[in-house]
Amino acid sequence: MNPKDFAISLDLINRHYQEPNRNRFESKYFWEELYPLIATAGFSAIEIPYEPVWQFGGRSGVPMNRYCINTKYASAAQYREVLKQSGIERVTGVTFDPNLFMRNDNIHFYFGASGHFAGEALAHAADLGADYFAISPSPYYGRIKQYHPDIDAQIEMFTDRTVELLNGLAAKAEELGVKLVLRNEYWSLFGGERVLPLLARLPESVGLDVDTASLSVAGIDPVQFITANIARIGCVHLTDTSFVDSNETWKTPTPNTHRAMPRKCSAIPAPVRSISPRLPQRSTSSATPAP
């Protein structure tokens, strides 16, 4: 196991519900005090979740979009230099969650906003020299259902538009030299093995982002899944939970906060996004992913 193959996600910092208060989260110094602690813990790489909402904060210190980084560091290059001085050698990836844009009954708004900001996030990943851009291909099923009660009858349309959006991102990712990977977010329309038919409709350049907890919740053996799909895997998120969804909790409005979902990693505020190791390039003869 090579520690350099692992990154730790800044999503481990729960910006929404835990201390300190929002003013400190939005301060540049909070994050610059954090980087040396990450390096001391043995990680020389980080993963950054893309969150456009922070650009509307008064302090703009949360390094999770291009606006904030350019405001505080003038450029992504200078931000990367600050990381290096703190012991962080690189940003392995940027993640994108479209739930923010499922907020009304206008499906055109969702796809328009998701496409625009996903494009911004992808460019942000390229600015940071990231290896991959990981996208959850849909919002949570329950969230979609809240605004579109007929989603079960509209899944074919929703899937077709998702494929169109992802094909555009795949072309842009190839231009920028960043690998586009689809996350098997369990709570989404394409969680667990449901992501595979979607992946089959996309170019070979698009890979899988395997989230091990999302597989476990679905009752899928992560080792078997990774082995079976090794050729298309771009990265792995090592997450953990003992919860298995035997009651279709994923279809409820707020499934990831369901009280029946215990977690082995109690220090992690969500069952996703903890540590993201890079896998070897596909040309390697290794039959199993790192580590």
pLDDT at residue 288, rounded to an integer:
32
Question: Cα angle at 160 between 155 and 161, to 5 degrees?
Answer: 100
Under-50 pLDDT residues of the chain: 258-274, 276-291
pLDDT digits (tens, 9 = 90+) for 232-251: 999 999 988 888 888 788 88
pLDDT at residue 275, rounded to an integer:
54
**Residue where the block lists tokens 């079976």:** 228
pLDDT digits (tens, 9 = 90+) for 40-91: 999 999 999 999 988 776 678 899 999 999 999 999 999 999 999 999 999 9
Q: Which of 124, 123, 120 is nearest to 98 (CA)?
A: 120
pLDDT at residue 280, rounded to an integer:
36
Residue 114, φ and ψ in degrees, nearest 5:
-65, -45
pLDDT, the chain, mean: 85
Q: Which of 196, 199, 192 is nearest to 250 (CA)?
A: 192
Sign of the C-alpha dihedral computed for residues 84, 2, 233 and 251 taken in this order: negative
Neighbour-count burial for 128-158, b at 16+ CB within 10 Å, e otherwise: bebbbbbbbbbbbbbbbbbbbeebeeeeeeb
Give 100's contacts (C-beta < 8 A, 6+ positions apart): 52, 53
**Residue where the block lists tokens 């460019």:** 123
